[in-house]
């Protein structure tokens, strides 16, 4: 079993601090970790700025080789990563193995992506020396890396949205050094992945300031990181409350910087009447499976289903409850997340407008699914019902008829995803719903479940606030590199002076 040393990686050196905190593993041994300090954050950021002067000017081939080397080094530590990751998060080994493949696949995808060069979005307007009344100069455009980037990983993806996750991969691909604030729910997993990145730094001859990992333990670590003047953007995956606090700090800086926060979402699923008639039981089984996947701890968990009243809708609700009731207890990521789930359930239990369809008891870090039902009128009046409960909790909103669905859809805040379950006969209604759903969500799906997020060119994992803090961005897929780039125009610059990618 991997035994963490509990130190921070600051610009190529493993550093200990006096104070320590413990991880809270679901099973296995407890380990101690050095608490991060403001001084360490500032050292890491200064080193990242220094590293930018070389790393920001590496060739695309050098960066691609570096990204591939990180993937290799992660694979070389595969078993140890699964062991510590599973112990710290309670996620099953198979899930960690899958997530590791996704993480290394993501790094390799970015390597291929930058080699193609399209992301540079190079443009060229030729000079018009004879233009009247004034000549036009030659102008070229290209995307350049923005500088050091801060990354905050999420508790529920200890690999794919963490130390070497999508934000880090996209920033490194762009040419930006990265300072990671490790998530306190999986500090040992963060440490071993940081070791893999450090090994790749050494084998590829990359400036050591290009990557640092600071363990948390105290909130001032994250605050100091987003306020550090060398940091030019922040990639964050996590809660609405945490994301909003850090977003506000970024906006208050003397030099405000973009904060790319991917936050929570309830991912509404509209069950259209034709689909309900055709396959209520099948849909119920699918929804139940999506709700409990990973103990419901997915930002894309479809927590709310909108279903017409009537016997077919009743059958859907009953079949969902039946499928959920068969789920074995699952372990949640942290004691705090388990407590938040119990509190979220209590919020529903305390409301007269909400009917409990399936009520389960859970204790400690274990959870079981719960299902509730509410009428559309009461749902619209009570905003708290549309807030995310992180975990396997489903809410069915009953509409008097499917014609009410567009009005109800307008009521939702920004979402990562919105789903329509439909049959051919639902086409007219779906056409009415789509323009509303595409204003609400980063990804609209038909006849599927949103829990899986493909890492591809056309993926958008983002959406209007509060799903994310930048509706123009995605944190998954190759387009996520754009967050860490900025366009520069080069006017009348001689070929011998132009950057290599433009010359
Ligand atoms: P979290 O509690 O917000 O933690 C994320 C990171 O932010 C951690 O490093 C945490 O530090 C730090 N942090 C939180 N609040 C802070 C504050 N006020 N000041 C400074 N730093 C702060 O989120 P989580 O527990 O990892 O994830 C659960 C939530 O994330 C769920 O709501 C879920 O839906 C959402 N999520 C969203 C996505 C997405 O893509 N949109 C993906 C996964 C999860 P500590 O380590 O010290 O706590």
Mean pLDDT of 216-220: 90
Token pair for residue 269?
């699923």
Atom of ligand 1 nearest to the CA of 476: 40
Residue 239 is predicted with a pLDDT of 94
At residue 414, the pLDDT reads: 98
Check if the beta carbon of residue 186 is closer than 8 Å to that of residue 270. Answer: no
Q: What is the mean pLDDT of residues 66-85?
A: 98
Q: Ligand 1 pocket, 469 CB below 6 A?
A: no
Find out whether the beta carbon of 237 lies less than 6 Å from any atom of ligand 1: yes
pLDDT tens for 442-485 read 999 999 999 999 999 999 999 999 999 999 999 999 999 999 99
| Residue 142: strand, helix, or coil | strand
Contact 106, 65 (CB under 8 A): no
CA of 460 to the centre of ligand 1 (A): 20
Residue 337 CA to ligand 1 centre (angstroms)? 10
Quote the pLDDT of residue 217: 83
Is 204 touching ligand 1 by the criterion CB < 6 Å?
no
Handedness of CA 327, 328, 332, 333 (dihedral sign): negative
Helix (H) or strand (E) holding 433: helix 427-440
> Does CATH number 3.40.309.10 belong to domain 269-446?
yes
**Ligand 1 site, residue 246, Cβ cutoff 6 A:** yes
CB 388 near ligand 1, within 6 Å: yes
- 237-257 pLDDT, tens digit per residue, is 999 999 999 999 999 999 999
Assigned superfamily of 8-21+31-124+137-263+468-491: Aldehyde Dehydrogenase; Chain A, domain 1 (3.40.605.10)
Write the pLDDT tens digit of every residue in 333-347.
999 999 999 999 999
- The single-letter DSSP state of residue 210 is G
- What ligand 1 atom has the least distance to the C-alpha of 333? 25
* Cβ(453)–Cβ(459) below 8 Å: yes
How far apart CA 432 and CA 272 sit, in angstroms, is 12
d(CA 291, CA 303): 7
pLDDT band at 374 (very low <50, low <70, confident <90, very high): very high
Q: How far apart are the C-alpha atoms of 398 and 282, rounded to whole Å?
A: 19
Give the nearest ligand 1 atom to 181 CA. Answer: 9
pLDDT at 362 over 90: no
Whether 457 and 483 have beta carbons less than 8 Å apart is answered as: no
> Using one digit for the tens of pLDDT, what is the confidence trace for 101-111?
999 999 999 99
Q: Where are the domains of the chain?
A: 8-21+31-124+137-263+468-491, 269-446
Ligand 1: does its nearest atom lie under 6 Å from the Cβ of 223?
yes
Burial class from Cβ neighbours inside 10 Å (0-12, 13-18, 19+) for residue 490 reads middle
Residue 181 beta carbon below 6 angstroms from any ligand 1 atom: yes
Take residue 320 and report the two structure tokens written for it.
Answer: 């969902």
C-alpha 147 – ligand 1 centre gap (Å): 24
Catalytic residues, which ones?
262, 299
**Pocket flag, ligand 1, residue 222 (CB < 6 Å):** yes
Rg (alpha carbons) of the chain, rounded to whole number: 24
How many angstroms separate the CA atoms of 403 and 381, rounded? Answer: 19
Closest C-alpha to ligand 1, atom 38: 299
The pLDDT of residue 1 is 79
Contact 471, 439 (CB under 8 A): no
Per-position DSSP letters for 61-89, written without gaps between them: HHHHHHHHHHHHHHHHTHHHHHHHHHHHH
Query: pLDDT tier at 145 (50, 70, 90 boundaries)?
Result: very high
Tell me the pairing of strands 178-181 and 211-214: parallel
Q: How far apart are CA 159 and CA 420, in angstroms?
A: 30
The whole-chain average pLDDT of the chain stands at 97
3-state secondary structure of 13: strand
> pTM for the full model?
0.95
Instruction: Give the model confidence (pLDDT) of 6-51 as tens digits.
Output: 999 999 999 999 999 999 899 999 999 999 999 999 999 999 999 9
β-bridge mates for residue 213, sequence order: 9, 180
Name the residue with the closest Cα to ligand 1, atom 24: 238
pLDDT at 206: 98
214 ligand 1 Cβ < 6 A: no
State yes or no: pLDDT of 66 exceeds 90.
yes
Beta pairing class for 20-22 and 32-34: antiparallel
**Site to substitute for ligand 1 among 33, 35, 239, 341, most atoms within 8 A of C-beta:** 239
Question: Could you tell me which of 44, 60, 294, 92 has the C-alpha nearest to residue 194?
Answer: 44
Cα–Cα distance for residue pair 473/386, rounded to 1 Å: 24
For the Cβ of 245 lying below 6 angstroms from any atom of ligand 1, the answer is yes
| Predicted local confidence at residue 128, as pLDDT | 98
pLDDT band at 52 (very low <50, low <70, confident <90, very high): very high
Ligand 1 center to 214 CA (angstroms): 16
How much of the chain, in percent, has pLDDT values that exceed 70?
Answer: 100
Report the separation in Å between the CA atom of 293 and the middle of ligand 1, taken as the mean of its atom positions: 19
Ligand 1: centre distance to CA 155 (Å): 7
Residue closest via CA to ligand 1's atom 10 equals: 183
pLDDT digits (tens, 9 = 90+) for 149-189: 999 999 999 999 999 999 999 999 999 999 999 999 999 99
Do 215 and 190 touch, CB atoms closer than 8 A?
A: yes
Most distant pair of Cα atoms in the chain: their distance: 80
């Amino acid at each position: 079993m991997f035994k963490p040393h509990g130190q921070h990686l600051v610009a190529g050196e493993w550093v200990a601090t006096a104070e320590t905190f413990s991880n809270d593993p679901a099973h296995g041994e407890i380990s101690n970790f050095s608490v991060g300090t403001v001084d360490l954050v500032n050292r890491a950021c200064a080193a990242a700025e220094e590293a930018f002067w070389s790393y920001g000017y590496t060739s695309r081939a050098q960066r691609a080789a570096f990204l591939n080397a990180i993937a290799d080094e992660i694979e070389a530590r595969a078993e140890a990563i699964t062991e510590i990751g599973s112990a710290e998060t309670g996620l099953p080994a198979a899930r960690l193995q899958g997530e590791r493949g996704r993480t290394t696949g993501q790094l390799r995808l970015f390597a291929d992506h930058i080699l193609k060069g399209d992301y540079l979005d190079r443009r060229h307007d030729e000079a018009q020396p004879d233009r009247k009344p004034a000549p036009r100069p030659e102008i070229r455009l290209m995307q350049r890396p923005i500088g050091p980037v801060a990354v905050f990983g999420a508790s529920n993806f200890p690999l794919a949205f963490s130390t070497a996750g999508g934000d880090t991969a996209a920033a490194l691909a762009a040419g930006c050094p990265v300072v990671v604030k490790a998530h306190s729910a999986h500090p040992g997993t963060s440490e071993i992945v940081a070791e893999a990145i450090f090994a790749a730094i050494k084998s590829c001859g990359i400036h050591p300031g290009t990557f640092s990992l600071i363990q948390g333990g105290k909130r001032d670590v994250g605050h100091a990181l987003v306020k550090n003047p060398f940091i030019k953007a922040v990639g964050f995956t996590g809660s609405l409350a945490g994301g909003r606090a850090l977003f506000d700090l970024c906006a208050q800086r003397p030099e405000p910087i973009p904060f790319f926060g991917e936050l929570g979402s309830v991912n509404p699923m509209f069950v259209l009447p034709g689909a309900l008639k055709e396959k209520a039981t099948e849909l119920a089984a699918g929804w139940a499976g999506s709700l409990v996947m990973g103990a419901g701890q997915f930002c894309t968990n479809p927590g709310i289903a909108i279903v017409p009243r009537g016997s077919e809708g009743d059958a859907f609700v009953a079949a969902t409850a039946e499928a959920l009731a068969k789920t074995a207890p699952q372990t949640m990521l942290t004691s705090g997340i388990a407590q938040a789930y119990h509190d979220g359930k209590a919020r529903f239990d305390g409301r007269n407008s909400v009917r409990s369809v399936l009520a389960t008891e859970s204790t400690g870090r274990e959870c079981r699914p719960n299902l509730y039902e509410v009428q559309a009128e009461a749902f619209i009046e009570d905003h708290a019902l549309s807030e995310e409960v992180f975990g396997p909790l489903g809410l069915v909103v009953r509409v008097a008829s499917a014609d009410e669905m567009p009005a109800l859809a307008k009521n939702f805040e920004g979402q990562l995803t919105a789903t329509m379950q439909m049959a051919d006969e639902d086409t007219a209604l779906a056409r009415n719903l789509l323009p509303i759903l595409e204003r609400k969500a980063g990804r609209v799906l038909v006849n599927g479940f949103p829990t899986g997020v493909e890492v591809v060119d056309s993926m958008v994992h983002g959406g209007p606030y509060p799903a994310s803090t930048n509706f123009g961005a995605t944190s998954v897929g190759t387009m996520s590199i754009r967050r860490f780039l900025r366009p520069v125009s080069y006017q009348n610059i001689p070929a011998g002076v132009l950057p290599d990618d433009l010359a």
